[in-house]
Amino acid sequence: MTQTTVTGRVRATLRLKAGGADGAHVVATSWASDRSFPRTTGAAVPFELETGDGTIYRVDPFEALVALPVRQRNLRAGVRHEAAWIAVADEITVEGELERAGRARAPALRARRIALTNTEGAGALHRLPPRTLQRGDSEKIEAPAPLAPPPVATVAAAPVGGELPAPVADEASSSNDATDGPRRPKKKRPDSSGTPTPVQ
């Protein structure tokens, strides 16, 4: 295993089930003023990271020192709450041990430190020591459904050597046909080329 530092964007493949309305989270931490020490808790799922050159790494975050900017604060019943997270499409920096995988799998990165790349103006941070992230329930992120194809007009094909099938009449016209009786045979028209039709 070799030590490496990788910077890239989190890929949209897996997320924590309790991602919330703020996006699909892969690492999430929370803090409450009424908790006993340690007050910051966190959950994570293994996720994929894509670098600028298109290389994909599988990241195992559970042995990492995590530093996340606080993104949400509120006060409920006199208790202060904070939440911090890494979401899909966030750019992060991961330091860790690189394990080469087989041809079919991406290289694995056992993280030792995870931090958001751009934290200017982020303010407070949640810092968790290694091995304190709990394994959260994961779910696959569904790819957006493809747009429905435009409706296709139905074209009736005539059988070889025959006529087109008669169009289906609606109920009003079919009830009129039943009262009119049987249909009369069509009259033969003279040939447009000028040759007389044979007498029958």
Taking only the tens place, the pLDDT of each residue in 79-99 is: 999 999 999 999 999 999 998
CA dihedral 38, 44, 50, 56 (to 10 degrees): 120
DSSP category for residue 63: T
Q: Encoding tokens for residue 136? A: 């959260």
In this structure, are residues 46 and 31 in contact, taking their beta carbons and an 8 Å threshold?
no
Which pTM does this prediction carry?
Answer: 0.66
In this structure, are residues 49 and 114 in contact, taking their beta carbons and an 8 Å threshold?
no
Pairing of strands 25-32, 138-140: unpaired
3-state DSSP assignment of residue 139: strand
3-state DSSP assignment of residue 152: coil
What confidence tens digit (pLDDT) does each residue in 171-192 have?
544 445 555 567 777 766 666 6
**Region 147-158: what's the mean pLDDT?**
54
pLDDT at 2: 85
Alpha carbon distance 142, 197 (integer Å): 70
Alpha carbon distance 98, 142 (integer Å): 28
